Chain A
């Protein structure tokens, strides 16, 4: 399994944190101590230098890092390596991995090319700068870090100049035998800061201190320099420094920073080189090398990151003196120098980041980008089902849940002309607007974003629409084709011929002899009701504006609309099956009662009531009253001896009925004429088992409803004498029937909770009762009253008073008060 780098010499070497394919290429020794770091959290432009020198001084021991994976390889399966990697067989792979060296051989030529280019293009953006020293220009064609060339003597002046900033000689990788640990950037900095502090900032002495660092064992440094580069002697550096050679590179190419953020269009022939320049800003060399173990290394905790010297002419903020010559630094106070270095570090960090991001610059022309954008937009539009240009009803059909949900929750409408009060009516009432407004903001912003997006897309769509629509796109010269698909018309994976409906298996005929009460048909009924309901609701939304006088067309339109609405109403009514004949003593419940026994059916009632007229409402009410004792919430809610309350499921059903159905009925009863109330009471007495009904919450609720309405009618003086007589007759019958079982109307024992509805019922009875009946009433429930009063004293104050006030509801109705009981 040998394979070669495929001409790897041109691969840009990235920071160790950020390598090909996102692998962490950090050397193992670099990882220790630095802790987990994100890719960009500490971009570390200098680590390469450290690495490079590490390579030179052989800091990596192959045996140390080799994980033995190679032993597991199966050498038998190498036949196709050539095919895969396109190279010659393993036997011909050379040992020449020194790509940098190879590149270095032609670096002069590269430099010359650059000179030539800059001469040809005098206006070229400052690329010419490096020309000043074309030979010295690092052409780090990156196999290692690209910094190796700094060992070359030609670079020394530059390094010197910069190193004066820190007071440390630069490129002295000093393999201290005692410690091979590589320094992290912070450590390097700390060291530099430390030594620069230690040195009095005074001219020559200062400079000397930089060139002759206190702790560098020179000879070792010399070893570290790769072959082919003459060793550098510190005296040489110093001499050059004195000759004033150095500062010329103190002005680094000022054009470089502009290049970073540039539009991505680089002058031809330049990009690679320039990018590498950025990668290896020559003036930004920190001293690499192992960390000396000497006592002078007192690493301050977390120094600010790297400090680098950047184009000095750009350093003038923060009231800092403009530094054009590194020697100026020597005359600054330590504080100023520190600030200056920090400033530089920040900039270097940023530049490095920009560099990392800018590597792809110029790969695509603006035309390319436009092309891609167009394809993306087309896809987007196709996928979104061209929401932008369809009518609101279509949007609603496609995206019903989201549209309605966001409207209910207060998002701005996407189509202002769409009347949405209906949705709010339908679904808000149902849910009781349990969703507070706190999320409103989120939705708004999300929605605004979508809107902006849509507007953008809309414009693109206009353009796209002008073109004929293709199902696929074949780009000239390409081998593949792009098939357009979207969520509604996905790309078919299988192509199965569907049998024509004529000769295919027909759907099973609905069996007409299904009994009306089996579960399946009941549920089907419920769904029919819902579909009719939704059709009506849609109809209501599309109501034409009320016609004006004389506008025949509008009147006609309105009439048609009314006609349709009416037919839908009939459809709804039929599917409710309220008018199915009542079969006495039937074992199967009436279809409408069966409908009501499902939660879906109960929930539908409020919506149904909005779409039916008074006559239909009273029919429903009558139906419910007639079948009161066969309603699930009455029939199955009978108290079971030994159990305080009905089962959980039944309690939920009762609650749902009380929340959904009762208000509708109450709403009608409160406006119903007196004779209907009388009729309903008569039905309860004659058609149902009153004792059974009275033992349930729903049953008592309906009775209370009727009794209190009668009382209100009487109070208002709307009842005729004849009607009242009738009422009293019926009431007496009811009272006589109920009296023996009055104590059974209370749910469970006194401690078992809510009995308020019973007291309400008793109050309703008490108000309408004659004085004699009131006395009988008191006698019947006297025990319960006394118990409750006694029990309430044992309860916490608020609960106790709650129970007392429940009792008082009844007591006051018959002219008494619990206070009187002492």
Chain B
């Protein structure tokens, strides 16, 4: 749930998504679900010359399983909080030691 939780905070931010077929798409993240499916708005394909068929696409829904990378605005990530959220995930284990 950490990634879901994390991506939820990035809604309405501009992100660049690289798919496993190398297409890179920049757009506004509209929503994300627990499968990390992604809805993008106002998209822009970075290497449009290679993918002209995407030139008229304005928004898209990306199945989470085809995403390779999500590049996000650094300023939108609260690193300290993210660290803590990560720790929480394994909090019980740490306590056991």
Q: Is B63 engaged at the interface, CB distance under 8 Å to the other chain?
A: no
Q: How large is the interface on B (under 10, 10 to 19, 20 to 34, 35 or more residues)?
A: 20 to 34
Q: Compute how far the CA of A531 lies from the CA of B56 in the bound complex, rounded to whole angstroms.
A: 50
Q: CB distance A603 to B80 under 8 Å?
A: yes
A401 surroundings in chain B (CB, below 8 A): 2, 5-6, 9, 78, 81-82, 85
Cβ-defined contact, B9 with A405, below 8 A = yes
Contact A439 B12 (CB under 8 A): yes
B69 within 8 A of A: no
Neighbouring B residues of A486 by C-beta, 8 Å: 34
B84 touches A383 (CB 8 A): no
B4 adjacent to chain A (CB < 8 Å): yes
The CA-CA distance from A762 to B84 in the complex, in Å, is 41
Of B11, B78, B83, B95, most buried by chain A (CB within 10 Å of CB) is: B78
Q: With A36-B56, A38-B56, A486-B34 in contact, do A530 and B4 touch (Cβ < 8 Å)? A: no
Within 8 A of B (CB), among A1-36: 36
Within 8 Å CB of A434, what residues of B? 75
Given contacts A384-B34, A534-B88, contact A430 B80 (CB under 8 A): yes
The answer to whether B94 touches A527, judged by C-beta atoms less than 8 angstroms apart, is: yes
- Give the shortest distance, in Å, between B28 (CB) and chain A (any CB): 10
Assess the A431–B78 pair: CB atoms within 8 A. Answer: yes
- B87 interface contact, C-beta 8 A: yes
- B5's contact among A402, A442, A600, by CB below 8 Å, is which? A402
**Does any Cβ of B come within 8 Å of A272's Cβ?**
no
Inside 8 A of A400's CB, which chain B residues have their CB? 2, 5, 84-85, 88
Please determine whether A487 and B88 come into contact, CB atoms closer than 8 angstroms: no
1/0 per residue A371-409: CB within 8 Å of B?
A: 000000000000111000000000001111111111010
Q: Quick one: closest B residue to A449, CB to CB?
A: B31
Return the contact of A446 from the options B4, B11, B78, B83 (Cβ within 8 A).
B11
Minimum distance in angstroms from A509 CB to a CB of chain B: 11
Task: Please determine whether B87 and A487 come into contact, CB atoms closer than 8 angstroms.
Answer: no
Residues of chain B with a CB closer than 8 A to A435's CB: 75-76, 78
Task: Please tell me which one of the listed residues B5, B56, B78, B91 contacts residue A427 in the complex, with CB atoms under 8 A apart.
Answer: B78
Decide: B94 and A531 in contact? CB cutoff 8 A. yes
From known contacts A397-B88, A400-B85, A401-B81, infer whether A531 and B95 are also in contact, taking CB-CB under 8 Å.
yes
C-alpha gap A445/B34 in the complex (Å) = 20
Question: Could you tell me the distance in whole angstroms from the C-beta of A228 to the nearest C-beta in chain B?
Answer: 42
Q: Count residues of A near B (Cβ-Cβ below 8 Å).
A: 37
Within 8 A of A (CB), among B23-59: 33-35, 56
Most chain B Cβ neighbours within 10 Å, of A442, A530, A531: A531
Is residue A574 within 8 Å, beta carbon to beta carbon, of the partner chain? no
Q: Which residues of A contact B4 (CB under 8 A)?
A: 399, 402, 487
B residues 3-26 near A (Cβ < 8 Å) are 4-6, 8-9, 11-12
Asked whether, in the complex, the Cβ of A487 is within 8 Å of the Cβ of B12, the reply is: no
What is the CA–CA distance of A530 and B75 in the complex, to the nearest angstrom?
Answer: 24
| Minimum C-beta distance from A249 to chain B (A) | 40
Given A384-B34, A408-B78, do A442 and B9 touch, yes or no (CB 8 Å)?
no
Interchain nearest-CB distance for B71 vs A (Å) = 18
Minimal Cβ-Cβ distance residue in B for A531: B94
A528 at the interface (CB under 8 A from B): yes
Query: Which residues of chain B come closer than 8 Å to A603, judged between CB atoms?
Result: 80
Does the CB pair A530–B87 fall under 8 Å?
yes
Interface 1/0s, chain A 410-448, versus B by CB < 8 A? Answer: 000000000000000001001100110001001100100
Please tell me which one of the listed residues A383, A404, A406, A531 contacts residue B91 in the complex, with CB atoms under 8 A apart: A531
Q: Which residues of B contact A399 (CB under 8 A)?
A: 1, 4-5, 8
Q: How far is the CA of A467 from the CA of B85 in the complex (A)?
A: 35
Q: B8 to chain A: closest CB distance in Å?
A: 4
B81 to chain A, nearest CB (A): 5
A:569-617 near B, CB below 8 Å: 600, 603
Chain A residues 489-537 with CB under 8 Å of chain B are 510, 527-528, 530-531, 534-535
CA distance A401 to B7 in the complex (A): 9
Cross-interface CB contact of A531 among B6, B75, B85, B87, cutoff 8 Å: B87
Helix, strand, loop or mixed for chain A's interface?
A: helix
Confirm or deny: A488 has a beta carbon within 8 angstroms of a beta carbon on chain B: yes
CA gap between A534 and B90 in the complex, in Å: 12
Contact B9 A406 (CB under 8 A): yes
Contact assessment for A442 and B11 in the assembled complex, using a CB-CB cutoff below 8 Å: yes
Q: B76 — nearest CB in chain A belongs to which residue?
A: A435
In the complex the two chains form, what is the Cα distance from A435 to B5 in whole Å?
A: 18
CA A434 – CA B12 in complex, angstroms? 18
Residues on A with C-beta less than 8 A from B76 are 435
Chain A residues within an 8 Å CB radius of B88: 397, 400, 534
Q: Which residues of B contact A442 (CB under 8 A)?
A: 11-12
CB-contacts of A130-159 with B (<8 A): none
Least distance between B33 CB and chain A CB atoms (Å): 8
Q: Is B84 within 8 A of A534, CB to CB?
A: yes
Neighbouring B residues of A383 by C-beta, 8 Å: 33-34
Min Cβ gap A167→B in Å is: 37
Most chain B beta-carbon contacts within 10 A, residue among A397, A405, A430: A405
| Given A402-B8, A531-B91: A487 in contact with B34 (beta carbons within 8 A) | yes
A594 to B4, CA, bound (A): 35
Beyond A36-B56, A397-B88, whether A405 also contacts B11 by CB under 8 A is no
Q: Which of chain B's residues have a CB closer than 8 A to the CB of A530?
A: 83-84, 87
A647-670 interface (Cβ within 8 A of B): none
Residues A404 and B95 in contact, CB atoms below 8 Å apart:
no
CA distance A504 to B78 in the complex (A): 39
Contact of B97 (CB < 8 Å), options: A405, A443, A510: A510
- CB under 8 Å from chain B, chain A span 438-470: 439, 442-443, 446
Interface centre among A384, A487, A535 (most CB of B within 10 A): A487
Residues on B with C-beta less than 8 A from A487 are 1, 4, 34-35
Complex: chain B residue closest to A533, CB-CB: B84
A120 to B88, alpha carbons, bound, how many Å?
71
B82 to chain A, nearest CB (A): 6
Query: Could you tell me if B34 and A527 are in contact, using CB atoms closer than 8 angstroms?
Result: no
Tell me how far the C-beta of A595 lies from the nearest C-beta in chain B, rounded to whole angstroms: 16
Enumerate chain A residues within 8 angstroms of B11, measured Cβ to Cβ: 442, 446
Q: Do the beta carbons of B6 and A528 come within 8 Å of each other?
A: no
B82's nearest neighbour on chain A, judged by CB, is A401
Beta-carbon contact of B34 and A404 below 8 Å: no
Which chain B residue lies CB-closest to A442?
Answer: B12
Question: Could you say which residues of chain B place their CB within 8 Å of the CB of A384?
Answer: 34
A window 733-770: CB within 8 A of B: none
Closest CB-CB distance, B89 to chain A, in whole Å?
Answer: 8
Interface hits, A171-187 → B, CB 8 Å? none
The answer for the CA separation of A408 and B80 in the assembled complex, in Å, is: 13
Q: Which of A385, A404, A427, A534 contacts B87 (CB 8 A)?
A: A534
Chain B residues, CB < 8 A from A535? 95
Query: How far is it, in angstroms, between the C-alpha of A641 and the C-alpha of B95 when the chains are bound?
Result: 48
Residue in B33, B35, B80 with the greatest tally of chain A CB atoms within 10 Å: B80
Most buried by B among A400, A439, A527, A600: A400
Closest Cβ neighbor of A404 among chain B residues? B81
Question: What chain B residues lie within 8 Å of A528 (beta carbons)?
Answer: 94, 97
Distance between A366 CB and nearest chain B CB, rounded to angstroms:
27
CB distance from B40 to the nearest CB of A (A): 15
Give bound CA distance, A446 to B6, whole Å. Answer: 15
Are B12 and A405 interface neighbours, CB within 8 A?
A: no
Alpha-carbon separation in the docked complex, A488 to B1 (Å): 8
15 contacts between A and B (CB under 8 A): A36-B56, A38-B56, A399-B5, A401-B81, A402-B5, A402-B6, A405-B78, A427-B80, A427-B81, A446-B12, A486-B34, A487-B35, A510-B97, A528-B94, A534-B88
Sample of 12 more A-B contacts, CB < 8 Å, known A401-B9, A402-B6, A402-B9: A383-B34, A400-B5, A400-B85, A400-B88, A406-B9, A427-B78, A442-B11, A527-B87, A531-B91, A531-B95, A534-B84, A535-B95
Q: Which 5 A-B pairs have the closest CB atoms?
A: A487-B34, A401-B85, A402-B5, A401-B5, A442-B12
Seen from chain A, the residues whose Cβ lies within 8 Å of a Cβ on chain B are 36, 38, 383-385, 397-406, 408, 427, 430-431, 434-435, 439, 442-443, 446, 486-488, 510, 527-528, 530-531, 534-535, 600, 603
